[in-house]
Amino acid sequence: MKLEINIVDAFADEVFRGNSAAVIITESWLSDELMQSIAMENNLSETAYLVLDDAGIYHIRWFSPMTEIDFCGHATLAAAHIIFQKNPSVTFIKFSAKAVDVLTVTKTDTGKIQMEFPNRKPEKFDDIPDDLLTGLSIAPVDVYRNEQAYFVIYNSEADVLEVKRDNEALKQLAPLDVVVTCQTNSDEYKEYDFISRYFWPANGGDEDPVTGSIHTGLAPFWAERLGKSQLKAYQASQRGGVLDCVVVEDRVLVSGNAAQYLTGFITIGE
C-alpha cells in the first residue's frame, strides 16, 4: 500500500519555521494502530488524517507521536493548505472533528488561511497543582484553565522566554498541557499583542513550536484584558510562529501562512 504524504510548515512564511505537520488523505480510515504508528514514525508534532465524505466535508483526525489529539490548529492549517493547493478554485473548506464539531476554513484574499474555531476562553483557577508549581522555574502571577491546558500568566517577556520546565512534573498534569504567556512590553515584540510558549510532555513532546488550538483560549483571554477583538500573536519557540486572531462572540478566527516542505509516498506492507 502506498500513501501520499505532505509535510507543511504551518504559521510560517518559509520552510524551517513555524510548526511542521504531516497530512495524509485517504478514501477511508486507516486503522487506529496504523495511524498511530505512522505518526510515531513521522515524529512531528502532529500527523493529520483526512477522509472526504459525499457531502464534501473532510473528516479529520490528529495524532501526535504519542496519542490521538482532540484538537490541533496547525495541522488543520497544513491540511487546508494541501487541499487548496490540489484544488486551486476552492476557497472554502469544511472539516468535521469529533471534539470540535464542524470547522470552517477560508483562503483569504491575502493568501492567508483563516480557521474558525470555538471560543475556549480559560477561567481563573485558584487550586494550583503542586506539579505545575514545581514544573516551572518561575512562579505564575495567575493561573487559568480550559479543557486543553493550564494558562500561566507572567508579567514580562523575559519570564516567558527564560522559564525552564521539569517535564516529569508537567507530565503529572495529564491530560492537560501548559501554556505560558504575557502581554508584550518591549520594542523587540512591539508588533505583537502577546507572546506565548506551549509545553506538552503529557501528550506529545517537550515544547510545541506553534500551537493553533491554544490560541482559541489565549486570544479571548487577551482580547478581554486588552479591550480589543483583533490581536496579533507570536509563539516564541525556537522555530517561532505568527498568528492573527479575531474574537467574535463564541468563535475565534485564527489565521496564518503555510509553506510546503515535502511531498512523497509512504510504502507499507511491500
Residue 160 makes CB contacts below 8 A (sequence gap 6+) with 154, 180, 181, 182, 195, 196, 197, 236
Catalytic annotation on 46? Answer: yes
Please pick, among 4, 14, 27, 46, the residue that the annotation labels catalytic: 46
Residue 54 makes CB contacts below 8 A (sequence gap 6+) with none
Interatomic CA distance for residues 151 and 154, integer angstroms? 10
Torsion of CA 228, 148, 178, 68, to 10 degrees: -130
* Closest alpha carbon to 177 in 28, 14, 67: 67
Count of helix runs (H) and strand runs (E) in the chain = 6, 18
Q: Which amino acid is at 209?
A: P
* Closest alpha carbon to 51 in 31, 76, 75, 27: 27
Return the bridge partners of 94, or none.
104
DSSP SS3 for 103: strand
Torsion of CA 210, 16, 37, 213, to 10 degrees: 10
Interatomic CA distance for residues 58 and 26, integer angstroms? 10
* Closest alpha carbon to 37 in 50, 23, 26, 47: 47
Q: Which residues are catalytic?
A: 46
